[in-house]
Amino acid sequence: MSQWRNSLAAALATPEQLAEHFGTAPGPLQQVALRYPLRITPHYLSLIREPGDPIWRQCVPDPLELTDDQAADPLCEESLSPVPGLIHRYPDRVVWLVANECAVYCRFCMRKRQVGCGAASGTSDIAAVLAYISATPAIRDVILSGGDPLLLSDEQLEELLAGLRKIPHVEIIRIGTRVPVTLPERVTPELCSILRRFHPLYINTHFNHSQEITPESTRACGLLADAGIQLGNQTVLLKGVNDTPQVMKTLMTGLLKIRVRPYYIHQMDLVNGTGHFRTTVDCGIDIIGAIRGHISGLATPYYVIDLAGGKGKVPLLPEDVRREGDKLLLKNYMGEIVEYRNPLIT
């Protein structure tokens, strides 16, 4: 068995294992883990310095996950799915859910209703997806997501990528993955040798805090960059994790050092079970205001809200925000004005 599969098999997966490791009581977490699965790899576990720190908050279940009453699928991904496992929201690009598990189950996951939950309800029939993409010439950009695509075997990934490269109008392929952060040993020379055959290919990683930039994650990103893959990063704005300007500055400048270009800071989606991570929009705007001009433009990401109802991502700058009471009025890519209720944080 490969090193990365051994690491995955050794991951903490129950409240009892977590309690034994940290000397805490498992009881309060058991109901949470029954609804939303728990998995923490040995590498990511080693990054926790103390209970409640930024790494702990991202991966350890919290009873607050069961008190939130938002929508399970606020972005309407399921209604925008022409074939199972494929999301076609924007005219020229699709998201293909190719996996239903992750190395670590992040507590803020936008797809926590399905990822890691029993059967692969969010994944797809390969032939049906390829047939749809092939029959839709407007699609030029395919994003592999999930779950984490890099938890597929090398052979499975090669099959998917080869299938896409046979479609003439597919110009670029993107992969969204958190394994450089959570399971860096998955990034091997053999994997990179496969990926480099399918350029132009881009990878978006997912670092949320500078504690995640380690020698291991640096090595993983270096292997990918040396294979000619352009790396971007999508950070989620998380209360108690990275919701201050200084934490974000340190993260964004640190990413450039390991050849990862900051791309997005996401406002937390209005997903059920994640409310305790949500900040106000003003928090994100203040962070962008503090970053812009004070660090390199290369290190300055877009701050975006992914609008409910499948209306798409909207980038925000401090001067762009229109308000009506506790509502923001945001213009999406189609020119629609969409109301977004600014969370009230107590």
Task: Kindly report the CATH number assigned to the domain that includes residue 162.
Answer: 3.20.20.70
Q: Is residue 332 part of a domain?
A: no
What pLDDT does 285 receive? Answer: 92
Q: Is residue 23 part of a domain?
A: no
- Who wins on pLDDT, 186 or 115? 186
Confidence bin at 332 (pLDDT 50/70/90): confident
What pLDDT does 320 receive? Answer: 65
What pLDDT does 72 receive? Answer: 79
What pLDDT does 345 receive? Answer: 53
pLDDT (average), residues 234-261: 98
What pLDDT does 121 receive? Answer: 44
Percent of the chain scoring above 90 in pLDDT: 76
User: Does the pLDDT at position 43 exceed 60?
Assistant: yes
User: Does the pLDDT at position 54 exceed 60?
Assistant: yes
Confidence bin at 328 (pLDDT 50/70/90): confident
User: Does the pLDDT at position 70 exceed 90?
Assistant: no
Confidence bin at 288 (pLDDT 50/70/90): very high
Active site residues: 89-90, 93, 102, 106, 109, 111, 269, 306, 313
- Who wins on pLDDT, 303 or 315? 303
User: Does the pLDDT at position 203 exceed 70?
Assistant: yes
What pLDDT does 123 receive? Answer: 56
Q: Is residue 62 part of a domain?
A: no
What pLDDT does 346 receive? Answer: 46
Round the average pLDDT of the chain to a whole number and report it.
92
What pLDDT does 319 receive? Answer: 62
Confidence bin at 343 (pLDDT 50/70/90): low
Q: Is residue 56 part of a domain?
A: no
Q: CA 227, CA 258: separation in Å to the nearest integer? A: 14
What pLDDT does 114 receive? Answer: 85
What pLDDT does 201 receive? Answer: 98
pTM for this predicted structure: 0.91
pLDDT (average), residues 200-207: 98
Domain that holds residue 208: 68-321
Q: CA 147, CA 152: separation in Å to the nearest integer? A: 10
User: Does the pLDDT at position 119 exceed 60?
Assistant: no
Q: Are strands 172-176 and 327-331 parallel, antiparallel or unpaired?
A: unpaired
pLDDT (average), residues 10-20: 95
pLDDT (average), residues 170-176: 98
pLDDT (average), residues 125-139: 97
Q: CA 51, CA 161: separation in Å to the nearest integer? A: 40
Confirm or deny that 102 is annotated as ligand binding. Answer: yes
User: Does the pLDDT at position 284 exceed 90?
Assistant: yes
User: Does the pLDDT at position 117 exceed 90?
Assistant: no
Q: Is residue 341 part of a domain?
A: no
Q: Is residue 137 part of a domain?
A: yes
Q: CA 261, CA 57: separation in Å to the nearest integer? A: 25
User: Does the pLDDT at position 154 exceed 90?
Assistant: yes
What is the number of structural domains in the chain? 1
Residues 301-313 as b/e (b if ≥16 CB within 10 A, e otherwise) read bbbbbbbbebbbb
The first and second tokens of residue 161, run together, are 């990528």
Q: How many CB atoms neighbour CB 267 within 10 A?
A: 26
pLDDT (average), residues 224-252: 98
User: Does the pLDDT at position 314 exceed 80?
Assistant: yes
- What is the per-residue DSSP string for 98-128? --S--SS--TT-TTTTTTTSSS-TT---HHH
pLDDT (average), residues 128-133: 97
Confidence bin at 120 (pLDDT 50/70/90): very low
What pLDDT does 122 receive? Answer: 45
Confirm or deny that 76 is annotated as ligand binding. Answer: no
Q: Is residue 195 part of a domain?
A: yes
pLDDT (average), residues 129-149: 97
Q: Is residue 326 part of a domain?
A: no
- The total number of residues shown for the chain amounts to 346
Q: CA 169, CA 138: separation in Å to the nearest integer? A: 8
